[in-house]
Structure 1
């Protein structure tokens, strides 16, 4: 018998619904432990709104964002920023009948070492569900196929000690994109010690006419000491001419703007 397995990994922003049949909430869990040995419990709720029995495995992993914003996944406790070893789950497997709901208790226990609480840490709780289909035969002499369809959901887990608050964003570089016309790669670095939400956009001023154009914002989170390259598109209706291009990174009303300016020519 041959088994074919399909895996889909989905990272969430608020909650996730398997076609409105399976709800998982929340998608982000924030802890703020600042004292050695301290602990805190939070919960993930899984609801089965389908008409079938559903089974789920729950486990931990490490992850990070690349400079382009994609996710990379690793085995738990393998990355220097990981707090996976601090986490206990009260269950690693559940079955839910139609209409049932169950809570997974996530406990974060800070180590006794004070140095471990000097930096932000993070991990991910994976919830994996499987629907098994019956073997199918294409003919009396043909191999049967056993299809295992898997959906794996990632719930982000952040541990930010309450005494960490430094926000410091730096605009590093601004260069034309090599693979996209009228697009610029804006590199931003987080020199702070907490994850920071950043808004980036471009403002253009036609050097001859004085006409001003503003492109839409790009919003994104940036881990401490991480870098991110944001692609900023110029307005589609931009006219030929020379422009002063200003790429701006905004990370809160109380923080100064970071920007890089260039003179460009649109032909």
Structure 2
């Protein structure tokens, strides 16, 4: 459960991150509606909340995530919908004094003719650089591990000509912290980023009576990726049911699936 919570916090990209005194101040997802041949400007606000100076490096990577919880960071051009070549940072290395704030600027130069309409993306990695300290106990050095933070830069090119295409991959009932939870894996096989919610409507298998309707939190879903949406259904007694799954994005595009659902006591 703890692992899933941290994963959701990352995928929602709605929180600032803190590590070794470094905080990203203006969000972890930056989205742009872009036109061919134009230049767009963005910035990353960073603060050192610690009491000692901190060096930070910034660089670009491609990334993709799957419903099983895996997140893969790779070199630019690994993803065929990367916009990594479009982005230029004004610096790749900064040093912040204690309590100092700064801004790193970037430009997005859209090609005259992107391959096709839809979403293109990459991530700007913000990584605190830890000092390498000599070891008093053994020959060599001790290297302190650091956590890297990723800022998504999503560019939607001609979104009116593109669309998400959501597919239900699997539905499982699992017990999380003592609560029965519907774990619904959804893939976006379309070419446009969206931020869907998933609703499960549960019906009595014999009478067709509607038992209840429950909804997940909204989460962003890039093309060629998948995520698991979690819905608390612990109020539903153990039994066999019919259910309708409905995934709805912010443009009210809806995707539905009828399923048989079995909720067990254990």
Structure 2: runs of 5+ lacking an equivalent:
1-6
Quick check: 2:180–2:232 contact (8 Å CA) kept in 1? yes
Query: 1:114-158 CA distances to partner (integer Å, 9 max, x unpaired)?
Result: 1436332101111111232632323xxx43542333231111111
Length-normalised TM-score, structure 2: 0.78
Give TM-score, length-normalised by structure 1: 0.78
Tell me how large the CA RMSD over aligned residues is. 3.2
Of structures 1 and 2, the larger Rg is shown by 1
Separation in structure 2 between the aligned mates of residue 28 and residue 86 of structure 1, nearest angstrom: 17
**Greater displacement, 68-77 / 165-174:** 165-174
Q: What does residue 262 of structure 1 align with?
A: 259
Shift of 1:199: 0.8
Cα 1:221–1:91, aligned 2, differ >3 Å: closer, same or farther? Answer: same
* Ranges in structure 1 where 5+ consecutive residues have no aligned partner: 1-8
8 Å CA contact retained: 1:206, 1:241: no
SS across alignment from 1:81: coil
Distance in 2 (alpha carbons) for counterparts of 1:227 and 1:147: 34
Q: Is this contact kept in 2: 1:171–1:249, CA < 8 A?
A: no
- 8 Å CA contact 1:52, 1:98 repeated in 2: yes
- CA deviations on 1:212-250 (whole Å, 9 max, x unpaired) are 0334414322223x3535365672343344421222212
CA distance change for structure 1 residues 260 and 232 in 2, over 3 Å: closer, same or farther?
farther
Superposition map of 1:1-267 within 5 A? 11=10, 12-18=13-19, 21-26=21-26, 27-36=28-37, 38-112=38-112, 114-116=113-115, 118-132=117-131, 134-138=133-137, 142-164=138-160, 166-172=162-168, 174-176=170-172, 186-190=184-188, 192-208=190-206, 210=209, 212-224=211-223, 226=224, 228=226, 230=228, 235-252=233-250, 254-255=252-253, 257-266=254-263
